[in-house]
Structures are given as C-alpha cells and as structure tokens.
Amino acid sequence: MGTLMGVYLPCMQNIFGVILFLRLTWMVGMAGVLQSFLIVLLCCCCTMLTTISMSAIATNGVVPAGGSYFMISRSLGPEFGGAVGLCFYLGTTFAGAMYILGAIEILLTYIVPQAAIFHPSGAHDASSAMLNNMRVYGTVFLILMAVVVFVGVKYVNKFASLFLACVVISILSIYAGAIKSIFDPPEFPICMLGNRTLSRDQFDVCAKTIVKDNITVASKLWELFCHSTNLTTENCDEYFLMNNVSEIAGIPGAASGILKDNLWSNYLEKGEILEKAHHPSVDVAGQKNNLHLYVLSDIATSFMVLVGIFFPSVTGIMAGSNRSGDLKDAQKSIPVGTILAIVTTSLVYFSCVLLFGACIEGVVLRDKYGDAVNKNLVVGTLSWPSPWVIVIGSFFSTCGAGLQSLTGAPRLLQAIAKDNIIPFLWVFGHGKANGEPTWALLLTALIAELGILIASLDMVAPILSMFFLMCYLFVNLACAVQTLLRTPNWRPRFKYYHWALSFLGMSICLALMFISSWYYALVAMLIAGMIYKYIEYQGAEKEWGDGIRGLSLSAARYALLRLEEGPPHTKNWRPQLLVLLKLDEDLHVKYPRLLTFASQLKAGKGLTIIGSVIQGNFLETYGEAQAAEQTIKNMMDIEKVKGFCQVVVANKVREGIAHLIQSCGLGGMKHNTVVLGWPYGWRQSEDPRSWKTFIGTVRCTTAAHLALLVPKNVSFYPSNHERYNEGNIDVWWIVHDGGMLMLLPFLLKQHKVWRKCKMRIFTVAQMDDNSIQMKKDLATFLYQLRIEAEVEVVEMHNSDISAYTYERTLMMEQRSQMLRQMRLTKTEREREAQLVKDRHSIARLESLYSDEEDEGDPVPENIQMTWTKEKCDAEKRNRGSAVGSFRDLISIKPNQSNVRRMHTAVKLNEVIVNRSHDARLVLLNMPGPPKNTDGDENYMEFLEVLTEGLERVLLVRGGGREVITIYS
C-alpha cells in the first residue's frame, strides 16, 4: 500500500470521530471560540510533535507489525515497551467503547428515540433512564461488533473506505451548510422565556396564548407552567408570568455577526439553565418543579473538563504506523502520510470551531442534545441539504471506528503477548489457525464492556485521553533519549526532528494529562508504573539494544567519574566485598555458603565482586573460564547476590588471587574488603600449597590496605531461608582495628536471618586494669556509635597473660586512649574530632597495622622476637609518641621456639569458648602473619587453636582505616 491508502486515509478515519459530530458544537458554546481554538491548538500541537518523534523512530530501521508498541519497546526497552504497549492497548479498547456509546447516543437521541427500553418515570430521572438504555444497547452492539471482527477482519477492512466516505460527506455538508447560511439561513427557531431557553420537545407553539375560533385560549406552554387549561394565574410560575415568550433564530447564519457573542467562554455548573446574555428578562425565582421545561446543563464544565473530552478527537495518529507491515515503503509513507493527516484534520477542526461560532446561536451551541431545536443533532441543523446527512453519516462512521478499534486492540495485545515480556499474558498470544487473536479479542470485549457500563461519553473520553497521552509521552521520550545519547545506531531517514521538540511534546502530554483530570493521570501513571516494575522483576530477559541501556551506561560513567574524586568519608564506608571462591574439578562452587554470607552482609547494597582463579594457560582454558563464570552467576542468582563475577586464568593460583586483589573493580567502585575461605584439612594435606596460598592472600590484603574476613566453618553458617529467633553475636574486641568488629554485626543484623540476634562485646583486661571504668567507657563509646550491645570485660589472670595476650593487651593502650576521648572536655573533644576524621591518614595507618618487625633495633631476619613485660615497658619509655610505639605492638607472630605463645592461644580460646560456646557467631581479631615465612605453619596452628570448639567464627582483620565514627 502507498502513502494515501496505507497511512493518510486510515489516519484521517481514526482521527475524525464521534467527538467532532457530538461534542464540538457544545465545546465551542461552553469555551467560546477563543478558548476552543486554544484547546484544539494544544491537542494538535501535542499530536504533531509526537508525530515528528514517531516519524524519526519509524524511519530508523524497518518497523515490522506491531506499530507503536514495537517502536517504543525497541527504543526504550521491554519495561517501557510493555508499559506503554498496554497503555496504548487500553486506550484503543476504551476508544472502541467510546465509539459504541457515541453510536448509541446518535441512535437513541436522533434516529429512533422510540427504541428506548427504559423511560423516565418522573421529570428528574431522565438521565438515569438514558444511561441504562446506553448500557443495554451498548452491550448488544459490542457483542455484534465482536462477532463481526471474529468472523472476518477482511470485511472490516473492506468497509473502512465506506465509513471514511461517510465522514468526508458529513464534513463537506457542514461546510456547504455554513456557506448557504450566509444568504439563506435554515429555519430553526428557538423558544425563549425571558432569557431562558425552553426545551422544544414538549410543546409546539411558542406563545403563552393562542387564538382558536376567534377566542384567546391557553397554549400548551401555559398549561405546563400554570397547570390549568383556562387563563387563571393563581398556580402559575412567577418567572413565567413576569417574562415574555419570544422566538429567536437558532442559526442566524455567518453574516449575522453572532461570532462576537460566541467569542468568550460561558461555563456552567451542573443543572444550570441555558440563558442568553443581554436578552430582556425579569430576574425572579421560578418553581423548582418546572426546571425540566428548560434546557439544562447536564455536567459541570470548565476548560480542563473540555480538554479531556476533546483530546480523543485528535488521537489516531498511530493508524499508519500500526500498518507498517503492509506498506510498500514504510520509512517514507509513515512521516508524510501522518503529518499530512494531522495538518488536514487540524485545519478542519479550526475551521469548524470558527464556523460554529459564526453561524449558530450561543444557547444552541451549549445545548448538548439539541433539546431547543426539536431534538435535532446541533451540527445537523447547520448542514446542507438535510440534518439526516450528518446523523446517518456520523452513525456509520462511529460504528466503523468502533470496529477498527476492536480489530486493532487484540492485535496489539497479541504482539505484546508474543514478545513474552509479561508472562501472565502468554495465553493471549495464541489465536485461530490463521493467526487471528481470538483470546485477545475476548479480553478486549470484556474491557470495552467496562467502558460501556460507565455509559457516559463524557466520562469515558478522559479515560482514554490518559492512556493515549501516556503512550505519546513515551514516544517523545524515546526519540529524545535516542537523540541525546547519540547512539551509533540512531540514524533516522526523517531529518526534521530535534530533542527539544520531543521534550516540548513530552511536556505538553504531561500537562494535558494533569489539566484534563489529575486523578485519572495518577491512576494511569500508577498502572504504567506497576506494569514496568512487574516486567522488571518477572519478565523474560530481552536484549533489544534499547535506549535505556545506553542511558544507564551514560549515568554509570558519570557516577563513576564522580566517585573517582576521593576516598569515601568514614560515614559512607561500607564493606565493598571481593569474595574469593574456590571451584572443584567439575567447576562447581566448593563453598556456596560464602555467597550466602556475602548476601547477608550486603543486603543488596554496595559492591560485591565474586572472584575465582582457574589454574592454567589462558589460551587453552578460556572456554573453561567462561563456563566457570556462568556457574558462579547461576549460583549468585540462587543465593540472591547482586554483584559482578570475575574469573581469572593464571599459572599459579596465588598469582591469580594477587591479580584479582589488585585489578578488580573500576575507578571509585573498587573493593575494600576481601572475603576468604578457610583452608580446611590443611593439616592432613600432603601439599602445603593450600595453606601457603591462604597466608599469601592474607599478606596481599594487608599490603593492599584492605580489610579481610575469614569465615571459619562456613558450611555451618545459616542459609537465607533460616531465621534466628534468639541468640547472640559475640564480638571479642582485643585490638581496635578501625571499628570493623563493631560495624560487621550491625550490618549482619540488617538481614532477616540475623535480625533477632543480640550483640555482645567482650574485651580482655589485665587484673590491674580498672575494668569497671573500662566497661563504662566502652558502653559510652557504643552509645555514641548508636550501636546497641551488651558490654562485658573479661579479666585474665596475670600468669595466663603471655606474649600474645600481653601484646594484645598492650594494644589496649590504643583502645583505652580512644575510650578516654569519651571523657574529654568539650573544647578538647572538638580538637580531637579532627583527629578521628583523619585517623585514616597514612602515617597513623601504617603504625597501626603494619606487619613489620621492630625498626628500632635491627634484628637478623631468622631470629623471631619474643616479647617480655620488661621489654614492653622499656619500649614505652623509649618511644615518646603513641604513634611510634604501635608499630611494634602488632607483630603477633607465633614462632617455633615460643611455646608460651601457643599456651596463650589455648588460654584465650578457653575463655572465649567458656563465654561464647552457644553464640550464633563469634567475631575475633585476626592476628597478622609472621614476616618470616618459616613460622607460617605455626601461624596456622595458632589460628586453629584460637578458634577451636567454636561452631561459627569470623576472623576479622581491619584495613587500617576508621570505618565507623561517633560524629554525624
């Protein structure tokens, strides 16, 4: 099909509809010619700008069947595509309901009023009887139309041109009538009582009295107002007695100058009487029970209401793009045909507004159902040669438009269902053997029935306005996003677009939504939002190279460049994890609970990188690495870990781990904490490489100033489905390592598994420490950290404190110093605040967590230092600054000759097991490895002894910076 038959005429047919014939005259009467121009201009600008955006998208590659849905989903991604596709579907379905209601209104009001089933019992329930008639006939029509569509769409398409001919003839008859009215206006007299308009269908003569056989008798009008056939006035309506009855021309004609009266708006409240301004009248109150004799306003009107009711008469611009599959050259036809159709229809609307304002009396324009002109269709009164041309023409055109909507909507739903982005819609993808969407047609009919049950054209119009406006808004957004991102694939043939025009179109759409009905707008947005989120969570993964993907990339790049500006402040520090996973020979994850632990610690926040090393040559094992990555990703999905996966191939595992620790992450999104599995069975292993790799990794993390977490007995850790309803998380705070020990339990407790656990903090003191003061200080510190925990100070007997614990206890000097700050005066505290902020300055850092030997007296490398009380005291005297002394105090390195050190580990382990044997999790400071590699095996033994008898242990080694602060 070419441009004319394939795009121009279908668009014209879809745009011209029921509103032009049934509501445009009423809109001009209420809003006045000037405001009507503004309404038409707003709506036509909206569709014109949308068409420009749509043309750009439609000419950027081949658009298969599915039209607007296909364009938006391939430009903005499946989430937006699905949301907008369904909005467009609902809009088209409600449009079908609106056309059917329009057809019924024409049938029952103007063609065969006697066909009504329900009749008003009193004067005041006329509207409810009419609504019930609309519901019954609407449902019958809907069923008939659905059957026609089901039996054969080809018949609908064959009749399309006939229906379009009806529309064109009707419009031409309006123009002919307007021209004729200049020199020969049609006779449609209106009966006025004072300045009030009377409903003409209840009497024939417009006079109070008539002369019959030379006798003056009461007219029908007198009987209605005075309830008597003789000329008595005692029961008469006061307004009737005080005012004269007069007749004015309903259509004065284009030459009468009526235009100046119709320029300005004349909005009415519901139930107000239509009055002609400046017409002579005496203003007195009439009787309430005579209101039905006047022409009344049936709904409250305002500029906003009229925008919502008029907008459906400019929709239909997608008709051409919906047929994109059948066009000979879609990329040329869609822009040309649609833009021409909009220009044509806009000119028709503008000229009609002007003609109606110039030819028809204001009270007739405001009379929605033509009560003042003998129940004639108001547009029909102007048309030539007869009002029936428009009545019959508009009836057939609305029926045709209804059939078109019921044909188009199911196909749209079928296209969405076949894409399989909304799982629960899959059933609507099936149809008859020839591909006709049977199930989709059934759903469409049911939704259209909802619109018909509303039964009022004026109520249904704003609903479909919303859905179409949502759709147009996203078409504009799609064009703007693609243009601004300058995607390499964005090369439309249609060159007359600009992102500013798309944004303007988007703004007008949004404004029109809220102007016409803010609550419908919110509901439509809520529906679209819910569909979007549903597709995001449930929908099938689709990669359509959409613009939102590009938008995410730009945003990510911008955010990463912003992050690069400096290290995070202590307040923003959170563990960004690099989890080192071990895979077995079949590339299965050996300890999946490491992932579980990571997901519980992160609760979906921050960065998680899952790293693994495959031993071998990259050229030969590339496929294996890909398979391993896929396995890990599947495992991450199961364990609900949100993060990234990186598999490295290296000749040695230790080298691979070093590469991961150095190179994972990007810019500011780098890991600051390494999670490492414990080398189980290292004692039995013939091959010392397993624990050598472990210690090597510990050294690497320390060298890189990263924090280290080693979960021991990780297979006993809880799964994500378990819940601890009671129990404790015990923290053994022996060395202050930047607050990691405090922060980790707090983060774990954010997860539902650990939420109900209580936190306990134990600290070790010597006998001669003031343990009561220490407990108070620690409680104050925790209070100021806003962390809820029980505090316990454990005293160890002097004879039990040997090198390891003694060293550790000396480390308490630094811890005590920190606690002492809690008791500083205000001025001193302000001075100290800066110090806490800068605590992660490098000098302090190195002094805190260096693994070097004493630099004061150089010692031959092969001799391990053994600490004594005297040596420590001497050191404290020698070094004035606290900073200097800490460098020595952390070399907690068991060596082969030092049996006392192991004895200490046993004693400390006894204390921990005694207090924490039933804890859900125990967190311990992890001592650093010896500098001299000869002591590695003893170091492993030492860690084993320290953690023996504890079910779940998390060894923690700080990265040497403050990670928690008391300052807000």
Residues 341 and 13: their CA atoms lie apart, in Å, by 9
Which residues lie below 8 Å from residue 98, measured CB to CB, with a gap of 6+?
Answer: 18, 312, 451, 457, 460, 461, 464
pLDDT digits (tens, 9 = 90+) for 87-144: 888 888 999 999 999 999 999 988 988 888 888 776 566 778 888 999 999 999 999 9
Q: What angle do CA 897, 902, 903 make, to 5 degrees?
A: 115
Residue, of 548 and 653, whose pLDDT is higher = 653
Q: What is the pLDDT of residue 882?
A: 36
Give the single-character DSSP code of 206: -
Preceding omega of 385 cis (within 30 degrees of 0): yes
Q: What is the pLDDT of residue 546?
A: 65
Q: What angle do CA 208, 214, 218 make, to 5 degrees?
A: 25
Residues 115 and 104: their CA atoms lie apart, in Å, by 11
- Find the distance separating the first CA and the last CA of the chain, reported in whole Å: 69
Q: What is the pLDDT of residue 30?
A: 94
Residue 498, helix vs strand vs coil: coil
Residue 707: which of 579, 837, 853, 892 has the closest Cα?
Answer: 579
Q: Is the pLDDT of residue 841 over 50?
A: no
Q: What is the pLDDT of residue 887?
A: 37
Give the single-character DSSP code of 929: P
pLDDT digits (tens, 9 = 90+) for 870-880: 444 544 444 33
Q: What is the largest CA-CA distance in the chain?
A: 145
Q: Average pLDDT, stretch 789-818?
A: 56
CB-side exposure of 231: number of CA atoms within 13 Å? 9
Q: Average pLDDT, stretch 854-868?
A: 35
pLDDT digits (tens, 9 = 90+) for 523-577: 888 988 888 888 888 765 666 666 667 778 888 888 888 877 666 777 777 788 9
Residue 162: which of 16, 13, 19 has the closest Cα?
Answer: 13
Q: Average pLDDT, stretch 27-41?
A: 95
Q: What is the pLDDT of residue 234?
A: 81
Residue, of 953 and 795, whose pLDDT is higher = 953
* Residue 828's pLDDT band (cuts 50, 70, 90): low
Summarize the chain as % helix, strand, coil (round to 5). Answer: 60, 10, 30
148-157, 318-327, 609-618 — most confident range = 609-618
**Single-letter amino acid, residue 884:** G
Query: Residue 97, by phi and psi: left (phi above 0), alpha (psi -120 to 50) or beta?
Result: alpha
**Single-letter amino acid, residue 143:** I
* Residue 886's pLDDT band (cuts 50, 70, 90): very low
Q: What is the pLDDT of residue 43?
A: 94
Give the single-character DSSP code of 8: I
Which residues lie below 8 Å from residue 731, measured CB to CB, with a gap of 6+?
Answer: 741, 742, 745, 759, 760, 761, 762, 789, 923
Sign (positive or negative) of CA dihedral 922, 923, 924, 929 = positive
pLDDT digits (tens, 9 = 90+) for 442-491: 999 999 999 999 988 888 888 889 989 998 998 898 889 888 888 788 88
Residue 209, helix vs strand vs coil: strand
Length of the chain (residues): 968
Find residue 922's DSSP bridge partners. 730, 953
Residues 506 and 338: their CA atoms lie apart, in Å, by 19
> Is the CB of residue 717 less than 8 Å from the CB of residue 952?
yes
pLDDT digits (tens, 9 = 90+) for 696-716: 889 998 888 888 999 988 888
Of all helices (H) and strands (E), which one includes residue 96?
Answer: helix 78-106
pLDDT digits (tens, 9 = 90+) for 585-611: 888 888 888 888 888 887 657 788 999
Give the single-character DSSP code of 635: H
Residue 396: which of 647, 690, 167 has the closest Cα?
Answer: 167
Q: Average pLDDT, stretch 254-271?
A: 89
Q: What is the pLDDT of residue 647?
A: 92
* Residue 27's pLDDT band (cuts 50, 70, 90): very high
Residue 612: which of 650, 642, 638 has the closest Cα?
Answer: 650
> Is the CB of residue 190 less than 8 Å from the CB of residue 200?
yes
> Is the CB of residue 821 less than 8 Å from the CB of residue 832?
yes
* Residue 516's pLDDT band (cuts 50, 70, 90): confident
Which residues lie below 8 Å from residue 435, measured CB to CB, with a gap of 6+?
Answer: none
Q: Quick one: tokens of 384?
A: 């030539």
Residue 512: which of 312, 349, 307 has the closest Cα?
Answer: 307
**Starting from the edge strand earliest in sequence, which strands make up the sheet with 245-249, in order?**
196-197, 189-193, 245-249
Residue 83: which of 590, 530, 709, 553 has the closest Cα?
Answer: 530
Burial 541-578 (b: 16+ CB within 10 A, else e): ebebebbbebbeeeeeeeeeeeeeeeeeebeebbbbbb
Q: Is the pLDDT of residue 805 over 60?
A: no
Q: Average pLDDT, stretch 678-707?
A: 82
Give the single-character DSSP code of 965: -
pLDDT digits (tens, 9 = 90+) for 43-61: 999 999 999 998 888 888 7
Of all helices (H) and strands (E), which one includes residue 644?
Answer: strand 644-650
Residue-by-residue DSSP string for 676-730:
E---TTTTT-S-THHHHHHHHHHHHHHHTT-EEEEEESGGGSPPTT---SS-EEE
Which residues lie below 8 Å from residue 693, measured CB to CB, with a gap of 6+?
Answer: 653, 654, 657, 679
Q: How many CB atoms lie within 10 A of CB 420?
A: 14
Q: Quick one: tokens of 658?
A: 């070093």
Q: What is the pLDDT of residue 450?
A: 93
Q: Is the pLDDT of residue 395 over 70?
A: yes
Q: Is the pLDDT of residue 39 over 50?
A: yes
Q: Is the pLDDT of residue 884 over 70?
A: no
Residue 503, helix vs strand vs coil: helix
Residues 888 and 852: their CA atoms lie apart, in Å, by 8
Q: How many CB atoms lie within 10 A of CB 351?
A: 14
Lowest-pLDDT range of 211-215, 868-872, 880-884: 880-884
Q: Is the pLDDT of residue 942 over 90?
A: no
Residue 536: which of 552, 521, 520 has the closest Cα?
Answer: 552
Q: Quick one: tokens of 227?
A: 């309830």
Only one residue has tokens 């123009």, namely 175
- Mean per-residue pLDDT of the chain: 81
pLDDT digits (tens, 9 = 90+) for 275-316: 888 888 888 877 777 888 888 888 899 999 999 999 999 988
Q: Are strands 707-712 and 673-676 parallel, antiparallel or unpaired?
A: parallel
Lowest-pLDDT range of 537-551, 617-631, 823-837: 823-837
Q: Is the pLDDT of residue 892 over 80?
A: no
Residues 817 and 819: their CA atoms lie apart, in Å, by 5
Residues 720 and 725: their CA atoms lie apart, in Å, by 14
> Is the CB of residue 106 less than 8 Å from the CB of residue 26?
no
* Residue 864's pLDDT band (cuts 50, 70, 90): very low
Q: Quick one: tokens of 127?
A: 């509207």
Find residue 707's DSSP bridge partners. 673
Residues 403 and 157: their CA atoms lie apart, in Å, by 9
Residue 386, helix vs strand vs coil: coil
How many angstroms from the chain centroid is the CA of residue 910? 55
Percent of the chain at pLDDT exceeding 70: 84
pLDDT digits (tens, 9 = 90+) for 899-927: 656 677 778 888 888 888 888 999 988 88
